[in-house]
Amino acid sequence: MKSVLIFTLSLITLGCSNFFVKAPVLLTKVEDEIKVICEWGSQKFDLCQYQTQQEMIKALMQEMTLDEKIGQMTQSVWHNNVSPEIIRDKTIGSIIHTQGPTPGPDAMDWINKFNEFQSRALETRLGIPLLIAVDAVHGQNTFEGAVIFPHNIGMAATRNMSLIKQAAQITALEVAGTGFNWTFSPCIAMPQHEHWGRVYEGYTEDRDLTTAAVIASIAGHQGTSLAHRHTIAATAKHFLGDGATDGGIEGGNATMTDQVMRETYLPPYAAAVDKGIASIMVGFNSYNGINLHQHTHLVTDILKGELGFKGVVVSDWNGGIRFGEPHTVINAGVDIAMQPGNHDEFMSKLKASVLDKTVPMSRIDDAVNRILAMKFKLGLFSDPFGKEEFATSIGSDKHRAIARQAVRESLVLLKNENAALPLLPTESIAVVGEHGNNSGLQSGGWSIQWQGQAESYRGATTIFDGMNAIGSNVEYAEQGCYPGMAADKAVVVVGENPYAEGFGDTENLRLTKAHKNLISGCKNLNKQVIVMLISGRVLLIKDELADSDAFVAAWLPGSEGAGVADFLFATDGFKPVGQSPYAWPVNYADIPLAQDAEHALFTFGYGLQDY
């Protein structure tokens, strides 16, 4: 059955003009494939005579030159040696936003900037629209003022798939409201080694919980149709085994048998494919000695062949050149290469490899077919521009309320003795440590900046802010407890500083001496000590646990510190629900640690469910 969706006052290109007018756009949906209804105006390439999406794609591809096809397979950073005119002249098919300049402080600045790039893409000979992507991995975390959710490690601790879906829905709205149509999320690595600097990007070490989370995330980001204005394309990453590298080294080698790969690491991707994930990103890592960007067996034979993935395989950063000549990556099955400012090198080398038949034309056509199909499914041929109606909802109270719920449900109560928790609003309380009053530190990496930041950011609520709004006598003591302090209870907020990717790889999985001293200093003054651990992974905490009356794994809660306050004060009768997504080692030698290891400090799934 046909259903017709009518969007009025959408920007479209008419003919070959260099300006845009307001006109109605009609989209017809037939079994989730989008057809363009052409009565509203002319196009650069006449698609009106074709009746199905696949017929339109075939006609476009027959018209395209090799340069135009390679352009579609190329992605560049919009602010890195790229201009709207270069997008037009090189027929580049997608751009990304990442670390670097921003289009401006307001959402409309972002929409207007990316609309400018989109308009130049529509001025090309065939008028093929752009994919515009961002690493929105826990909310629209590149835009200051957006809602930033707990990182995936915290979302998994909630065990609340409905909440994971809601977070993805809100992320999609705030991403669309800043001009994007594609996110590189969710990360479904199953980290097995705490040394890895990306543990927090994955949900958990557990296969089944990861699978449930990715299904919920896809449903939130992509909805029932990518053509809807409130949905965006999602990306499962990083295929395959990125969280299982030897020693937890970023981009290292994952050594395992094919049986382990199939039983443990492949199922979440199979679920993602089954649920219609739009794209999958290959990893920096290798699998048994072969880098994933060049792993024909895993990418082409298994992902595209065995699992039947029909979407787009995208490289990671500089992936079209970083691991070898472009032909090795494209022949392995990568469809879009992310080339930050060096698109010319990638495009010229790939073209040479096609001309000398190192890369078969069939491989190029397969990639372009997938890319065009994704653009049609997103409705970009009729509705290519930023979704202005969502700009005003970015950082709204409604969105923040869901993130606040996610924070309080993500916290895992590891210890509670001597009636330390819940706190009473009338008690005299000290919030101790820099992490207790700094939204940048509480959010971790991929928060405003790629590596995160040590400063608070606009729109966020710190843990102290949240507690001060509930308690009548809450003091902030950044440097620690001191003689004569009136507070009877000290909420000592300690943990890791922000990091991302390889910068987080470390063999030091303990708190700093300064943070240890914050805990012991309060204990030595006979305060009741409630430790809040801000971290992107489980740490070695045996001694700190012994020095505390209560201990909470807070992970990386994001912008809504008030959710931590809700947890501590049991707001509206709240009781802890968080369960650890990882087992906790007692000693360094325990790493890596099995989920159910008898010698674990806390096993996978642990979490006190009452105060």
CA-based angle 580:584:586, to the nearest 5? 155
Q: Are residues 557 and 493 part of one domain? A: yes
Look at the pTM and tell me if it is higher than 0.85: yes
Residue type, 306: E
Q: How far is the CA of 424 from the CAs of 249, 420, 542, in angstroms?
A: 44, 10, 28
Residue 147 to residue 144: CA distance in whole angstroms: 9
Query: Is there a single domain that holds both residue 237 and residue 93?
Result: yes
Q: Tell how many helices (H) and how many strands (E) occur in the chain.
A: 20, 20
pLDDT of residue 524: 98
Verify that 189 and 149 share a domain, yes or no: yes
Write phi, then psi, for 16 (nearest 5 degrees): -105, 20
**Domain assignment of residue 315, yes or no:** yes
Bond prior to 238 in cis (omega within 30° of 0):
yes
Is 601 inside any structural domain? no
Question: How high is the pLDDT of residue 44?
Answer: 66
Residue 169 falls inside a structural domain: yes
349 with 495, same domain? no
Residues 30 and 75 in one domain: yes
Residue span of the structural domain in which 438 resides: 411-590
- Partner residues linked to 134 by β-bridges: 97, 183
Is 123 an active-site residue?
no
Same domain, 356 and 439: no
Which member of 316, 465, 547, 560 is catalytic?
316
Q: Does the pLDDT at position 36 exceed 60?
A: no
pLDDT score of 19 more than 80: no
Classify residue 482: in a domain, yes or no: yes
Tell whether 402 is covered by a domain: no
What total number of domains does the chain contain?
Answer: 2
Query: Based on the domain organization, do 448 and 341 belong to the same domain?
Result: no
Mean pLDDT for 382-400 is 97
Residues 45-55 have pLDDT tens digits of 777 778 788 89
- Residue 268 in any domain: the answer is yes
- The answer as to whether 398 is a domain residue is no
- Distance (Å, whole) CA 289 – CA 230: 41
CA nearest neighbour of 334 among 362, 302, 363, 376: 363
What percent of the chain is modeled with pLDDT above 90? 90
Residue 453 has pLDDT above 70, yes or no: yes
Give the separation between CA 562 and CA 359, rounded to whole angstroms: 55
Closest CA to 473 of 524, 428, 537: 428
Active site residue 501: yes
Q: What is the pLDDT of residues 95-145, one digit of tens each?
A: 999 999 999 999 999 999 999 999 999 999 999 999 999 999 999 999 999
CATH for 475: 3.40.50.1700
Residue 420 and residue 386 share a domain: no
Co-location of 491 and 364 in the same domain:
no
pLDDT above 90 (res 14): no
pLDDT over 50 at 591, yes or no: yes
Give me the catalytic one of 501, 544, 547, 566.
Answer: 501
Same domain, 77 and 159: yes
416 in a structural domain: yes
Contact between 143 and 179 under an 8 Å Cβ cutoff? The reply is no
